[in-house]
């Protein structure tokens, strides 16, 4: 009988769900030392944890019986994913259970800011009656900016629309059609949003790109008296800049549920700030949310143990080793095409993706390749996106994913092409495999070529006239940038037509060099693209899949 170990407090509804599944032994043991945990795992097929249990490399190493971890919650910071993957343990989480509770916490803080609820309540507790001092403002008719429109951001936006607020949303990957359906004005640049809002709430992951996203410069562009809310991740709003803006009155109020360091240290600049409401990370702290994530974790674990289903996995894919060996080069190809298109399209909002598999590629598990492509497309915008969850994450943002297959080889024995539909038009790239894993770029939009699909690429569109290649070569030479390879695709079999060139570079060009190329009268567009190096291990679950 499979044995499931539970080491953190779990809602009784979750325990009941697991026991009701039948055929599973449930063992509850909390407060284990690291050594005790390691020993208990030797006798467990699965473990359900919250944030209290730390699954470290030491705990996971050599665990030959353990097959799965279910995290009752979203974050998996307490689980060492590389160690779990190395041990052959699938890690699954419950991403949707806290959506409503976190959205409601955001609105609760927004209401409290608007009506001065906390200081007014404190004043009453002190025996005072200061009605005039705590005059507030209504939300109806105000403009709120929602930065990040994933599950929680969308839930907040819909509720704000119902409150008769004007909602402006920023998300590089939400489709325009879905935003319109929600009643949200969509922008693709945060700087287009910040000057217009009366309230701003953030709902993005914390990444290198989003750390300090709302900084001193952006706060200076906001309306005087703007109110800021963060129930997402500490660090998205620069705390030092926020403290200064609250003290000088340029920001009228702020409410924080999350912090750069939790709990905030004694020397945090936030302490003592006026018009600041702070709560101790309560976003998912409701009875309903805790019950939902517990029940979902129980379902995930029981289905895995009884049927082999893998749901919401963050480090593995449902495919056999033999199948993975065959599809692995295509995962690499799909991921690189996704990364390439994400950089080519820039901030243009992606609405849909069409992947076409021809020849040998059409005979593989194309769903996995589509997942790898989506992971590459979303890698810079979404936290913890991987082969398993990328397609679902894309669809959550209104991005449709379509596949077509033809075993007819065409010009190549195998090929994968991807077309993304954006607010500014369609973009297409295609790639192929030579040998066991030699990846090549064979198409950029309507231009056919043969270029490397790794490292740094300089892609520029131009009119095919004499002298341009020499100009660019000399310019890059002066910058100390070496050209390793070049491929040209042109629309005509004679000079003068529209063309595209792909230069494979040993170094990345400077911004000054890029500007000089872009300013050339015969160049109609230029992009520098950074791809993984040839043979470089792919990130996260993609690497593990190999």
Residues designated as active site: 233, 262, 281
Q: How many CA atoms lie within 13 A of 73 on its CB side?
A: 21
Q: Are 232 and 260 in contact (CB under 8 A)?
A: no
322 class by beta-carbon count within 10 Å (0-12 exposed, 13-18 middle, 19+ buried): exposed
What is the DSSP-derived secondary structure letter of residue 319? Answer: S
CA-CA-CA-CA torsion sign (198, 203, 208, 209)? negative
Q: Which helix (H) or strand (E) holds 342?
A: helix 321-345
- Please report, for residues 114, 335, 410, 451, 466, the alpha-carbon distance to residue 487 in angstroms, rounded to integers and kept in the order given: 59, 21, 21, 6, 16
Peptide bond into 263 cis (omega under 30): yes
Q: Return d(Cα 420, Cα 61) in angstroms, integer.
A: 42
d(CA 381, CA 171): 9
**Under 8 Å between Cβ of 148 and 141:** no
Of 255, 227, 242, the C-alpha closest to 108 is: 255
- Give the other-Cβ count within 10 Å of 524's Cβ: 14
Pick from 7, 21, 6: nearest CA to 305? 21
Cα-flanking dihedrals φ and ψ of residue 176, to 5°?
Answer: -60, -35
Going by C-alpha positions, the residue among 280, 301, 292, 306 that lies closest to residue 95 is 292
- Whether 456 and 508 have beta carbons less than 8 Å apart is answered as yes
Gap between the Cα atoms of 395 and 154, Å rounded = 13
d(CA 467, CA 501): 14
Starting at the earlier edge strand, list the strands of the sheet with 90-93.
25-28, 3-6, 46-49, 68-71, 90-93
* Helix, strand, coil content of the chain in percent (nearest 5): 35, 25, 40
**Helix (H, G, I), strand (E, B), or coil: what is residue 150?**
coil
d(Cα 188, Cα 81) in Å, to the nearest integer? 32
User: Whats the size of the chain, residue-wise?
Assistant: 546
Max alpha carbon distance in the chain (Å)?
88
Q: Helix, strand or coil for residue 501?
A: strand
Say if CB 417 and CB 445 are below 8 A apart: no
SS3 98: coil
């Amino acid at each position: 009988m499979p044995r499931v170990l539970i080491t953190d407090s779990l809602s009784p509804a979750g325990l009941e769900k697991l026991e009701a599944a039948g055929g599973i032994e449930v063992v509850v043991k909390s407060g284990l030392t690291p050594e005790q945990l390691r020993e208990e795992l030797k006798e467990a097929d699965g473990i359900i944890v919250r944030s209290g249990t730390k699954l470290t490399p030491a705990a996971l190493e050599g665990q030959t019986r353990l097959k799965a971890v279910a995290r009752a919650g979203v974050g998996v910071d307490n689980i060492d994913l590389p160690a779990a993957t190395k041990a052959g343990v699938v890690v699954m989480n419950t991403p949707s259970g806290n959506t409503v509770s976190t959205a409601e916490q955001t609105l609760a803080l927004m209401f409290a800011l608007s009506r001065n609820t906390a200081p007014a309540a404190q004043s009453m507790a002190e025996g005072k009656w200061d009605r005039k001092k705590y005059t507030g403002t209504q939300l109806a008719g105000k403009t709120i900016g929602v930065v990040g429109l994933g599950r929680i951001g969308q839930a907040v936006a819909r509720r704000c629309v119902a409150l008769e607020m004007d909602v402006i949303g920023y998300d590089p990957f939400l489709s325009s059609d879905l935003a319109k359906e929600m009643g949200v004005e969509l922008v693709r640049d945060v700087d287009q949003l910040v000057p217009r809002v009366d309230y701003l709430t953030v709902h993005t992951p914390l990444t290198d790109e989003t750390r300090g996203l709302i900084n001193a410069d952006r706060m200076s562009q906001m309306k005087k008296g703007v109110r800021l809310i963060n129930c997402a991740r500490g660090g998205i709003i620069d705390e030092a800049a926020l403290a200064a803006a609250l003290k000088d009155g340029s920001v009228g109020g702020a409410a924080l549920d999350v912090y750069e360091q939790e709990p905030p240290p004694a020397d945090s600049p936030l302490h003592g700030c006026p018009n600041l409401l702070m709560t101790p990370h309560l976003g998912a702290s409701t009875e309903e949310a805790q019950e939902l994530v517990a029940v979902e974790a129980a379902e995930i674990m029981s289905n895995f143990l009884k049927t082999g289903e893998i749901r919401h996995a963050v480090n593995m894919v449902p495919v056999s080793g033999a199948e993975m060996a065959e599809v692995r080069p295509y995962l690499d190809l799909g991921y690189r095409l996704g990364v390439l298109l994400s950089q080519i399209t820039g901030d243009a909002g992606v609405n849909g993706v069409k992947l076409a598999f021809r020849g040998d590629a059409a005979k593989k598990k194309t769903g996995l390749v589509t997942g790898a492509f989506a992971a590459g497309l979303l890698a810079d915008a979404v936290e913890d996106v991987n082969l398993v969850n990328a397609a679902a994450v894309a669809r959550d943002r209104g991005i449709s994913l379509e596949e077509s297959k033809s075993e007819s080889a065409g010009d190549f024995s195998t090929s994968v092409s991807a077309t993304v539909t954006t607010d500014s038009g369609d973009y297409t790239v295609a790639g192929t495999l030579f040998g066991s894993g030699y990846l090549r770029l064979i198409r950029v939009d309507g231009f056919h070529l043969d270029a490397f699909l790794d490292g740094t690429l300089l892609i520029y569109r131009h009119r095919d006239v004499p002298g341009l290649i020499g100009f660019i070569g000399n310019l890059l030479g002066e910058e100390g940038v070496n050209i390793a390879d070049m491929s040209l695709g042109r629309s005509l079999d004679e000079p003068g037509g529209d063309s595209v060139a792909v230069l494979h570079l040993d170094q990345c060009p400077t911004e000054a060099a890029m500007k000089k190329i872009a300013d050339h009268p015969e160049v109609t567009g230029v992009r520098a693209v950074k791809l993984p190096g040839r043979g470089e291990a792919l990130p996260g679950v993609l690497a593990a899949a190999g």
